[in-house]
Structure formats: C-alpha cells, structure tokens
Structure 1
Amino acid sequence: MNITTSIKTKIARIDTGEVFTYDTLDISQNEFSAAAKALSRMVFSGKIRRYKNGMYYKPKQTAFGELKPREDELLKNYLFENGKQVAYITGVRLYNQLGLTTQVPNVVRLASRDKEIRTKIGNLIIKPAKSYVDVTIKNVPLLQLLDVMKDFNHIPDMDKRTGVDFLKKEIETLSKEDKRRLTNFAKEYPPKVRALLGAVLESLSLDDLSGSLKASINYLSSYEFGISERILPTISNWNIV
C-alpha cells in the first residue's frame, strides 16, 4: 500500500471534526515529504481542511454551515506527543470544569514538566504552567487535585467550604495506591500544598499518609487559606489560618 492510499484509509476512520496530525497518522520521518503532498491534495479537493501547519480535520457540514473543530479537540494536540501525554489543563479553565468556579476564561494554562506551550486556538490564548511531577495519563488527575490546593486562595468566586468538601470527596474516592501517590507527589509541591493535603488526609483519618507529610513542613511557618475549624477541624495541627 503506497503512502497516499495508507493516509486515505487512516483518515477514513477519523470522525468529522476530529483534529489529526502526522503523529496521529503514524507517518514515519522518511515518508513526511510524500505525506505532505498527499495531504495537500486532499486539502485542495476539500476532503480535509488544514487548521494550521501540521494540523488537519475533516469538515462537517450542518444547516448553519461548516463546523470547525471544537476547542477541546484542538487542545488535545498540545497535550499529547507520540501517543503520550506531556501536558495537562490547569488554572481557572480546570477549576471551571471541576465546578469550583463559574468563570470561563479565554486563557488556558497547560502544565508540562519540560515544555513551555504558548499558542492561540480560536479565541483561546494558551499559556504555560509548571508541572512539579512528570506528566502521564495516570498522574494527571492527581496533579490537578494538587493544583486545586496550590491555587486554593486564587480560584475565582469559590466558597472555601465548597473547596474543602470537593477535596475530601475526591481524595476519599481514590484507591489506596492513588492516595499514596498523591501524598508522594505533594512532596514536590510548595509547603502550603503539603499542609492543606495533610489536614484533609487527617480529617479523613488517613493518619499514616498525613504523618509522612508532617515532617516535610516547617512547624514555625503558617499557611494562610482562610479556612476555619468549622470547615476543616484539623487545620490547627498544620498551622493553617
């Protein structure tokens, strides 16, 4: 099967509106030139559209005209490389998705261990954020939980009780192994994150995990979250005010 036939076969399996790249099509380096020509011919014939250099999609016609790819589809291409996750959504966009804020920002933060992702997708402005731990598909939900704790004081219009209840519920539903991994990842985050996680773990009677965090924070330091003991009774054990 030649490269043109191979590409057409692979694209036929892709849904309309779904964005694809050379990686998606599993095109090897020595086939790039032939693949680029094949894709250009398909763009010219209208079978596919070029969103930007190296990114394509199959157009979908509706009664209101042609639909462009959804923003979340376009974002995927910055979250994955060669089938592996290298970045994840964080910041206010994430906190909106989690139901912690009603604000819908036009700036999206993508956290990566060793990449700074800056681009624009439609009306979205993509800016980089720091990942304290290597990004993998399995790690992302845990890192996003820790980011909620890191940004707890800066999540727009979030009620503190709502935020604490969210953390307790999410952590409680984790497997024993993921609770342990979450605790270990927290040790790479700033001390305030370790303090808040420790207080939440202690409130859930997970003393073996909270104990491992206690030694990692300075007992002379205090951590301001604006949380009262009515909301989280264990805060005094972690110098949280």
Structure 2
Amino acid sequence: MNLAKEIRNQINKMPEGEAFGYLDLGISKKDFITAAKALERLQSAGVIKKVSKGKFYKPKQTVFGELEPDYNNQLNTYLFQNGKRIAYVTGISLYNQMGLTTQVANQISIASRIKRIYINRGALKADAVKSYADVTESNYKLLGILDALKDIKKIPDGNIENSIKLLTSLIKQQNGNQLKMLVNLALVYPPRVKALLGAILENIDANIEIAKLKKNLNPLTKYKVGIKPNELPTIKNWNIV
C-alpha cells in the first residue's frame, strides 16, 4: 500500500473533530514531504482541515453545521510537539484554575522555552511568554506554581495571605521527588521566588532540603512581598517583609 492510501486509511479510523499530526498517523520523518502532499490533496477534497502547522482534523457535520475541534483539543496542538509537551498555560488563566483569582482572561498566556506561541483562531487566542526552564510533562505543573509565586503581588483581585495558603496546599500535595524538582526549578527564577518557596517549604517541614535555595540568595537583600509573620512564620529566615 502506498503512503497516500495508508494515510487515508488512518484518517478514516480517526474520530471526527479530533486534531491530529504527522506522528499520530504513524508517518516517519523521512516521509514527511510525501505525506504533506497527500494531506494537501485531502484538504483540497474537504476530507480534512488544517488547525495549525502540521495539525489537522476531520470536520464533524451536525444539523447546526460543521464543528471544529473543541477548545482543549485545539489548544493541545500548540502545547505539544512530536508527541512531547513543550508549553503550558500560565498567567491569569492558570491562576484562575488554581483559585488564586476570580478574574477570567480575555486571552491565555502560553509559556515555552523553545518557541514563542501566539494564537488568534476563533475563540482560541493566546500570547507568548518565555518559560524559565524547558517544559516537560513532569514539570509543567511545578513551573505553574513557581509562576504564581513570582506574580503573587500582581495577581488581579488576589489576596496574598489566601494565595500563600492555596500555594502551600498545592506544594504539600507534591511527593519527595517533585519537591526536589521544584527546588531545582526555582533556582532559575528571580530571587524573591527562591525566598518565598524556601519559607513555604521550611514552614511545611524543616527536613526538606532547601539549603541550595538559601545559598543562591544575597543575605543582605530584603524581599518585599507583604506577608505577615503570623501568616507565614518562617519569613524572618528568608528576609521577606
């Protein structure tokens, strides 16, 4: 069976309205050029439609007309590349999901280390943010926590005391390996993030390894966050005021 027929058969098996890429069709990189031509012919015939570069979907016909892939399905085509996560949603949209704000963003922010991702497609709109570290499936939620610590004073209608409580609760849910990863990721963030994370971790459990956070901070620098000692007793050890 030639490649074009194989692609057609693979697409016939796929559910309508679900976005897919080259790797989802089992196409090897050496066949991408040939596959692109086959997919272009299928687009012209109306069998598939393009979502973004290298991503397509089978249109779903309903009594109300044609449906595009749902919001999350479309979004995932930008968050993943070759089957691997390269980006994550951050900013107000993420902080809303975390319960740190009730505000809803007009457009989302997408953080990635390897590319700048802008989207303007119907209801799906996003601006690009540079991630502090390479994004993976195992660390993107931790990066979100660190982003929230970084922006804690700027979160719309956010209450710093409540934000600390919510973020402390999220951090408590991480296992030992995740906490170690969280500390290592914090090392590439601004000093106030290291200080805040150190204070929270020390308050949770004095046995958590946080020495490398302290080592990366200037002992003479004070970090103005607006937290009171009764809200986070360990701030005095991290020069947080």
Q: What TM-score comes out, normalization by structure 2 length? A: 0.89
Amino acid across the alignment from 1:42:
L
Give the aligned partner of residue 204 of structure 1: 204
Superposition map of 1:116-135 within 5 A: 116-135=116-135
Q: What percentage of aligned pairs have identical amino acids?
A: 45
Larger CA deviation: 55-64 vs 140-149? 55-64
User: After superposition, what is the alpha-carbon deviation per residue over 1:77-107, rounded to whole angstroms, capped at 9, x for unaligned?
Assistant: 2222111222221111211222222222233
Give the aligned partner of residue 93 of structure 1: 93
Superposition map of 1:1-241 within 5 A: 1-241=1-241
CA contact (8 A) 1:17 1:59 kept: yes
Superposition deviation, residue 143 in structure 1: 1.1
Superposition deviation, residue 45 in structure 1: 4.1
Superposition deviation, residue 42 in structure 1: 3.1
Q: Residues of 2 paired with 1:17 and 1:183: CA distance?
A: 40
Q: Residues of 1 paired with 2:87 and 2:52: CA distance?
A: 20
- Secondary structure of the residue aligned to 2:135 is coil
Q: Residues of 2 paired with 1:205 and 1:28: CA distance?
A: 49
Q: Residues of 1 paired with 2:151 and 2:214: CA distance?
A: 21
Larger CA deviation: 55-64 vs 143-152? 55-64
User: After superposition, what is the alpha-carbon deviation per residue over 1:110-147, rounded to whole angstroms, capped at 9, x for unaligned?
Assistant: 22223222332324432221222222111111111111
CA contact (8 A) 1:23 1:81 kept: no
Superposition deviation, residue 52 in structure 1: 4.5
Instruction: Mark the runs of 5 or more structure 2 residues left unpaired by the alignment.
Output: none
Q: Residues of 2 paired with 1:158 and 1:29: CA distance?
A: 47
Q: Residues of 2 paired with 1:163 and 1:15: CA distance?
A: 41
CA contact (8 A) 2:201 2:208 kept: no
Q: Residues of 2 paired with 1:13 and 1:145: CA distance?
A: 39
- Secondary structure of the residue aligned to 1:197 is helix
CA contact (8 A) 1:108 1:126 kept: yes
- Secondary structure of the residue aligned to 1:75 is helix
Amino acid across the alignment from 1:197:
L
Superposition deviation, residue 226 in structure 1: 1.9
- Secondary structure of the residue aligned to 2:100 is coil
Q: 1:216 to 1:31 in 2, by over 3 A?
A: closer
Larger CA deviation: 81-90 vs 125-134? 125-134
Q: Residues of 1 paired with 2:218 and 2:156: CA distance?
A: 29
User: After superposition, what is the alpha-carbon deviation per residue over 1:165-188, rounded to whole angstroms, capped at 9, x for unaligned?
Assistant: 121111111111111111111111
Q: Residues of 1 paired with 2:158 and 2:64: CA distance?
A: 37
Q: What TM-score comes out, normalization by structure 1 length? A: 0.89
Name the count of aligned residue pairs.
241
- Secondary structure of the residue aligned to 2:24 is coil
CA contact (8 A) 1:187 1:213 kept: yes
User: After superposition, what is the alpha-carbon deviation per residue over 1:179-227, rounded to whole angstroms, capped at 9, x for unaligned?
Assistant: 1111111111110000000110111023442333222211221112222
Amino acid across the alignment from 2:50:
R
Q: 1:83 to 1:51 in 2, by over 3 A?
A: closer
User: After superposition, what is the alpha-carbon deviation per residue over 1:42-76, rounded to whole angstroms, capped at 9, x for unaligned?
Assistant: 33444322335533112223343322122322221
